[in-house]
Amino acid sequence: MTHQVLARKWRPRDFASLVGQEHVVRALSHALQTQRLHHAYLFTGTRGVGKTTIARILAKSLNCETGLSASPCGRCRSCTEIDEGRFPDYLELDAASNRGVDEMAQLLDNAVYAPVSGRYKVYVIDEVHMLTTHAFNAMLKTLEEPPGHVIFILATTDPQKVPVTVLSRCLQFNLKNMPASMIAQHLAHVLQAEQVVFDAPALTQIGKAAAGSMRDALSLLDQAIAYGGGRVAEQEVREMLGVVDRRYLQRILDALLAGQGAELIAVADEMLSTNAPFGRTLTDLAAWLQRIALAQVGALGADDEDVEALGQYAGALAPETLQVYYQIAIHGARDLSLAPDDHTGFAMTLLRLLAFRPAEGHSGRNAEAGVNSGQVQGDRAQSVSSRAAGAESGSLSGAQGSVRPGAAALAAAVATRRAVNVPTSMPSLAPVSAVAPAPAPRSASTTAQDISPQTPSTATDAQAAANAFDGDWPLLASHLGLAGFSLQFMQQSELIAHQDFSFTVRVPIRQLAESGTVGKVRDALSAHFGAPVRLTVEVGGVSGQTAAAVASRERAERLDQARASIESDPFVQTLLTDFGGTILPESVKPIDP
């Protein structure tokens, strides 16, 4: 067989021809130039990023007959034999098929002997994470202190499975996935050398499909050349990879912008007739939306093949709408298997995109239409109010069981309330100006600084709250929502005296009277009463009027009631009589209210 696949034919033979992984090349080159070599290296990364390739280049650099350097000649006997896999002092071990302790023991037994023809013995153990625990234990001592002529190179795609005892003995390099643009550039160089006609967008598609692996990209390139009959064309590569034609994506976005539901269904039906992948379409749609978002923030690369189209959509779609579309697309792709069939699930996802599109305009981004954001919000509120009013009148004119004037009035009020919250620069709307927004209710977490004592209604409310306090300090403790030391303060303290917003309490230990704890309790009381509170704290003995004591008494009473209920239960009495049983008092637990 004279033909050699591209992945093997174009495997780099030296560091200069290696694509990517500059951080690894730089470190190894400096180590070779200064002869500061480590006895064990660990290369990690996904498949096809160059782990074994770098190991071979390093082995040639260590054993090249021209000398120890970062630039092996590639022509001497050592270099050629390493490339051909027959150098006696270079051994590649596949740990996936040689993972036992016996294979490892045989390898280590041969490590003590001097090299046959090279300068170093280089042992490359690929997929080292597949070794058994006993095999790892057998190699630990030799890996830590190997003979001076032995270099270990370990490679793995799953470093989490490698024991830390092995990791600590190795110099670790993490190989990165290669960008699609770098892969496409290298594929173009390969095709030019192979004198194969190609389309540049086709190489971009292969680079994306390779997912960072140069070996996968070269394998796909071999397949594309065979599929295209000796040439690499964009349309044929898309068919081979199952990539969705971007014209479908553009038609979907255009139909969404125009609000044409029938066109969306037509796209779905056309894709069904051409056997297009619906799940992949939704995934590609999400990727397009992500690139549109990048275009909106100015982060889209100038070399993007769809930069013009993406820029147009970036100006037509609001950022918040884009985010909703993205979520719907990825969830639609995830839930496609739950649909009755893929076509139905895809069509419903498109209709869901249409249902959540803006009702009017695009949040003020369509400047050519002369619509600003204030007018859009006002028109939406007025439209909702009109629909609600129409619904109310329709309900009143129907049967008696359908009359729901309260719901329609509530919908109109909600729409009007939302319209009130538009910016001050908006043109005023007649229905809005007649309604004043209701004050927001005050929550229990409102602080004293949020209260306006100058407002007469607020002062009256605060005075009414103070007059409503009847001295039940334990009950007040349960309403403040405190935690930690502040909660312990309220539960362990006893109210001595109070008048309006002045409270004097006593705590049993000095730690509860710290200024920080007292300050938090004072703030909580001020928020509860809606006015500044004065809190005086004493340290001394407390009586049984604390929240903790009250809670303890209540628990004891519930426990007594539970025991009495069990003992008086006729069924329990029958069991005790018939079987001679007894009731364990500690086993009875009351049901908390």
Domain locations in the chain?
Answer: 6-174, 180-241, 246-355, 374-418, 461-545, 559-587
- pLDDT, residue 454, reads 40
Structure tokens at 58: 């390093």
Tens-digit pLDDT profile for the chain (593 aa)? 567 899 999 999 999 999 989 999 999 999 999 989 999 999 999 999 999 999 999 999 999 999 898 999 989 999 999 998 899 999 999 998 888 999 899 889 889 899 998 899 999 999 999 999 999 999 999 999 999 999 999 999 999 999 999 999 999 999 999 998 899 999 999 999 999 999 988 998 899 889 899 999 999 999 999 998 889 998 888 888 877 778 889 999 999 998 899 999 999 999 998 888 899 899 999 999 999 999 899 888 777 777 888 888 988 888 989 999 999 999 999 999 999 999 999 999 999 999 986 554 444 444 343 333 344 344 444 443 444 444 344 333 333 333 333 334 334 433 443 343 433 333 333 333 333 344 444 333 333 333 334 444 444 555 555 556 777 888 888 788 788 778 888 888 888 888 878 888 888 888 778 888 888 888 888 888 888 888 888 888 887 678 878 888 888 888 888 888 888 888 888 878 877 778 887 787 777 66
| Tokens 């909702």 sit on residue | 384
Which three-class secondary structure state does DSSP give residue 245?
Answer: coil
Class of domain 246-355: mainly alpha
Chain-centroid distance, C-alpha 52: 32
Pairing of strands 171-174, 534-539: unpaired
The C-alpha atoms of residue 315 and residue 299 are separated, in whole angstroms, by: 14
- pLDDT, residue 394, reads 39
CA quadruple 381, 383, 386, 387: dihedral positive or negative? negative
Give the DSSP H or E segment for 415: helix 405-420
Question: How many CB atoms are located within 10 Å of the residue 222 CB?
Answer: 15
- Tell which residue, 457, 483, 171, has the closest CA to residue 465: 457
Pick left, alpha or beta for residue 46 (phi over 0 → left; psi -120 to 50 → alpha; otherwise beta).
beta
- Tell which residue, 19, 2, 59, has the closest CA to residue 185: 19
- pLDDT, residue 357, reads 66
- pLDDT, residue 464, reads 55
- Tell which residue, 526, 533, 538, 529, has the closest CA to residue 493: 538
The C-alpha atoms of residue 314 and residue 304 are separated, in whole angstroms, by: 14
Chain-centroid distance, C-alpha 574: 60
Domain 180-241 part of CATH 1.10.8.60: yes
The most distant pair of C-alpha atoms in the chain lies apart, rounded to whole Å, by 103
- Per DSSP, 441 falls in state P
The C-alpha atoms of residue 298 and residue 209 are separated, in whole angstroms, by: 25
Asked if 100 and 67 count as a contact pair (C-beta separation under 8 A), the reply is no
Structure tokens at 242: 């199952």
- pLDDT, residue 85, reads 87
- Tell which residue, 44, 67, 59, has the closest CA to residue 14: 59
Asked if 210 and 216 count as a contact pair (C-beta separation under 8 A), the reply is yes
The C-alpha atoms of residue 572 and residue 396 are separated, in whole angstroms, by: 60
CATH code reported for the domain at 6-174: 3.40.50.300
Asked if 525 and 533 count as a contact pair (C-beta separation under 8 A), the reply is yes
The C-alpha atoms of residue 178 and residue 187 are separated, in whole angstroms, by: 13
- DSSP E strands in 460-520: the ranges are 494-499, 502-507
| Tokens 């539960």 sit on residue | 491
Question: How many CB atoms are located within 10 Å of the residue 17 CB?
Answer: 12
The C-alpha atoms of residue 55 and residue 61 are separated, in whole angstroms, by: 10
CA dihedral 521, 524, 528, 534 (to 10 degrees): 50
Tell me the chain's radius of gyration from C-alpha atoms. Answer: 38
Which three-class secondary structure state does DSSP give residue 508?
Answer: coil
How far, in Å, are 62, 115, 217, 278 from residue 6 at the CA level? 27, 33, 10, 32
- pLDDT, residue 358, reads 58
One DSSP character per residue, 185-210 reads: HHHHHHHHHHT-EE-HHHHHHHHHHH
One DSSP character per residue, 47-66 reads: TTSSHHHHHHHHHHHHH-TT
Which three-class secondary structure state does DSSP give residue 23?
Answer: helix
- Tell which residue, 324, 336, 245, has the closest CA to residue 292: 324
- Tell which residue, 198, 196, 193, 218, has the closest CA to residue 206: 218
168, exposed or middle or buried, with CB in 10 Å at 0-12, 13-18, 19+?
exposed
The CATH number, out of the four listed (3.20.20.70, 3.30.1130.10, 3.30.300.180, 3.30.720.120), of the domain defined by the range 461-545: 3.30.300.180
